[in-house]
Amino acid sequence: MASEGPQVGSGGEVAVFVDFENIRYSTINSYGREPDPLSWRDKALRYGLMAVARAYADFDQHPPPVRMRLDVAGFEAQHYPAKRTTDQAGREKIESRSDLNFVIDIVNTALARPDIKTFLLFTGDKDFIRVVTTLRNRLGKRVVICGVPGSVSPDLVAAAGEEDPLQVTQSVDVDLAVIRAINAYVQQLHDGFVPTQSHMSRTLWRFLDRTLLPSEHIEAKVMEFLRKGILTKRQTINGQGQELVTTELNPAHPLVQDALPGYRRPLDLHEGLPREEEDDEDEVIAVGTVPAADAVAADDEYDDEYDDEYEDDEDDDEFVDEAELEEEFEEDNRGNVLAPGERRTVVAADAG
């Protein structure tokens, strides 16, 4: 049986312009996944048939499958290579050419196609306020801003007067799989090692099906879990007397309990400290736990040594043999080790 196609609105033809870099990076940062151009098409068709549908970017900076997904959804990929220059200090500067052509094509379309009354702009960038006000106030067009929630300028929306946010539905099954992978990652840490955000982001791919979450999106998913309270941060001191911040699953979060029934609150890291009080079920951040934003800042200095390696390792992860992986894992954990007398931070989920 053929699937039903998207509903088409009766408001006449529409013009759709996509600031691809803004939408793609915002989607990855907020949801840890690639955007779906088919959902853009379906949204646009609710306003009318797409007389113009274009996406703008330096596509050399994006994976090749991106252009195929745009083609499948009916969007023309407008490729404008970024301009690269070097200043007197030898620093490379990159200047986008996509934004200028994005604006020029919008204005040209409005002038050449006066029959198109509705313009859908997929962006959240406030740099486009002037073209939005021109369309609306001088040319009498209806302008709808379609951006990623949390990455859209309120001034841009105010200028347009209308917003239809992109809603990216993240599969609960994916989140549950990531939670189980985090637990598996923590459980296999050698005695005395503790999980940190940087090491977790770099290592979690080994415990995940790549078809569920590509390795290049794991870091964004960890950040998303921190924002949602699925992961929490805890300050401690390791065996070398260094201050660091561990990253732990939050047993009070319902998704954690769905993925790991019976998962318990972690013990304090230091001997002699009492367990945290669990009487207040409404308490989101436990005693001794620091807010995610503050913890990230506190953890940055400790994790700096990992950052450069992480970027270099991503493309090569699938080609490293088991012996190299084990050696790399031992090196990654150096500095996380606790003194022999200290307890580990994570308690395994109850069996059954």
**332 compared with 258, residue with greater pLDDT:** 258
Query: Using alpha carbons only, what angle is made at residue 118 by residues 116 and 119, rounded to the nearest 5 degrees?
Result: 105
Return the minimum-mean-pLDDT range out of 21-35, 65-79, 261-275. Answer: 261-275
pLDDT of 258 over the 70 cut: yes
Distance, in Å, from the CA atom of 302 to the CA atom of 308, rounded to the nearest integer, reads: 13
Q: How many CB atoms lie within 10 A of CB 277?
A: 10
Secondary structure letter of residue 57 according to DSSP: E
Q: Whose structure tokens read 């561990």? A: 246
pLDDT tens string 114-136: 999 999 999 999 999 999 999 99
Question: Could you tell me the two tokens for 18?
Answer: 């996509």
Highest mean pLDDT range out of 214-228, 258-272, 284-298? 214-228
What superfamily in CATH does domain 14-160 come from? Answer: 5'-nuclease (3.40.50.1010)
Q: Say whether 54 sits in a helix, a strand or coil.
A: strand
The per-residue b/e assignment along 120-153, b for 16 or more CB within 10 angstroms, e otherwise, is bbbbbbeebbebbebbbeeeebbbbbbbbeebbb
Quick one: angle between helices 218-228 and 292-313, nearest 10? 170
Beta-strand relationship, 92-95 and 118-122: unpaired
pLDDT tens string 190-244: 776 788 888 898 889 889 887 677 777 788 888 888 988 999 998 877 666 777 7
pLDDT tens string 34-89: 888 999 999 999 999 999 999 999 998 888 888 899 999 999 999 998 887 777 77
Q: What is the pLDDT of residue 228?
A: 87
| Residue ranges per structural domain of the chain | 14-160, 172-272+282-332
Q: How many CB atoms lie within 10 A of CB 329?
A: 17
The whole-angstrom distance between residue 286's C-alpha and the CA centroid of its chain comes to: 26
**Among 66, 41, 63, residue whose Cα is nearest residue 122:** 41
Q: Say whether 85 sits in a helix, a strand or coil.
A: strand
Bin 32: left if φ > 0, else alpha if -120 < ψ < 50, else beta. Answer: left
259 CB-near residues (< 8 Å, 6+ apart)? 175, 176, 177, 179, 180, 183
Provide, for the chain, the percentages of residues in helix, strand and coil under a 3-state DSSP scheme, each rounded to the nearest 5. 45, 15, 40
Q: What is the pLDDT of residue 167?
A: 82
Beta-strand relationship, 142-145 and 118-122: parallel
Is the pTM here over 0.75, yes or no?
no
Q: What is the pLDDT of residue 267?
A: 53
Q: What is the pLDDT of residue 241?
A: 72
